[in-house]
Structure 1
């Protein structure tokens, strides 16, 4: 027991540099952003669309719980890394920059967890992050939790995982990580734009015109944020490669001889 406590303390000490860096980034960005910014805010979606996205998101959450259970039972040592992936998502997605009415732009932080543990596990971590933000930070909402979960915790992570698996065989792992994190961020807002367009089609042009409007406004803030998130995710990966090699080897993400 004492050995386990000592190991956890050592891991936390190793986490301090990256956590301090993320916290500093949060302070700088949030200082310029009003606190009222949200994902899709509470009560903003019509009831039928709020229910629809809850129904779509729930199966992924259930499958994600099973996946996390399998991971932790097979390798209990990975629990701390799993918590780190969730914390990374929580901090980054709390960086709020107002964008389209009823929503906001912010990094998502889901790419790292999707690469480490797969998209199903990230659907649970992302859902919990969104729940805590809705309850503690008034960032998002309970009625819109299904929609926010689908865009940030399901669509984004699945894209991140597929992009990583597609690019990593080329031998350029860090490029794969950058693209996975950045594109997952952008896809989250493409899906959010579609969700808003479906709920609020334009009087002229319908869903297509509404989607073009929402996506165009989001792109102004989201493209630079996506690039920044990709770079930050690579930095975190470099840190993990130095201080968490054992865990990455368990996940078969790096080789022992690297």
Structure 2
């Protein structure tokens, strides 16, 4: 999901910035709102950003000769809803491009769109779907993390196919090629991220119970006081 500097034509790079900007602005407002209305959740909000930064900075070699990364955005989407991740993702990707040379500045809009917008929304949608059919909550967490990861790479593959269509087969052939290189090989890593997400949330339940109840991830305890007769 880290498209490197110079891999996108200037016009396309600018368009991805334009598409991503409203989501980032809305996400920044949500971060401010949550910080004001739920100050107890600020530490967890910062932890979500740090978790995304560390996890998405891990660079693993791929069997296709490329590299793969976890994303970590599904966790924040489940806890704080997807808009928050658009802003946090921008901050994460900006620092990674400046400090780690992961991704580029001109491709920042495209990288934000795939990792910080589409990925979190897809993961959150699957999480809510699992809730609607009454699957165990940790099953929803697993799929949210895995889908957020995999969707990011699917979108990145399509972005590259738009920028570099095949001379013969055009966009379709290029998309098939990039999906085979990035998305297909990402499946095992997406599943592993799903397992990591379950372990993460089990740990959070043990150490951050009040904050999770405040955010609605855990239901508030039922009062034990006897009812008036």
TM over 0.5: yes
Q: Map of 1:20-35 to 2, 5 A cutoff?
A: none
Q: In structure 2, what is the equivalent of residue 125 of structure 1?
A: 88
- Structure 1 regions of 5+ residues with no counterpart? 1-37
Q: In structure 2, what is the equivalent of residue 217 of structure 1?
A: 181
User: Does the CA contact (< 8 Å) of 2:64 and 2:181 recur in 1?
Assistant: no
Q: Map of 1:1-258 to 2, 5 A cutoff?
A: 39-98=2-61, 104-169=67-132, 170-257=134-221
Q: Distance in 2 between matches of 1:142 and 1:42?
A: 7
Q: Distance in 1 between matches of 2:100 and 2:91?
A: 13
Deviation of 1:105 after TM superposition, in Å, equals 1.7
103-112 or 194-203: which moved more?
103-112
- Structure 2 regions of 5+ residues with no counterpart? 223-229
Structure 1 segments (4+ residues) deviating >6 Å: 100-103
Deviation of 1:257 after TM superposition, in Å, equals 3.6
Q: Distance in 1 between matches of 2:121 and 2:66?
A: 22
Deviation of 1:70 after TM superposition, in Å, equals 1.1
Relative distance call for 1:181 and 1:158 in structure 2 (3 A) is: same
When the two chains are superposed, the root-mean-square deviation of aligned CA atoms in Å is 1.8
User: Does the CA contact (< 8 Å) of 1:60 and 1:120 recur in 2?
Assistant: yes
Q: Distance in 2 between matches of 1:158 and 1:188?
A: 10
SS at match of 2:4: coil
Q: Calculate the TM-score normalised by the size of structure 1.
A: 0.82
Q: Calculate the TM-score normalised by the size of structure 2.
A: 0.92
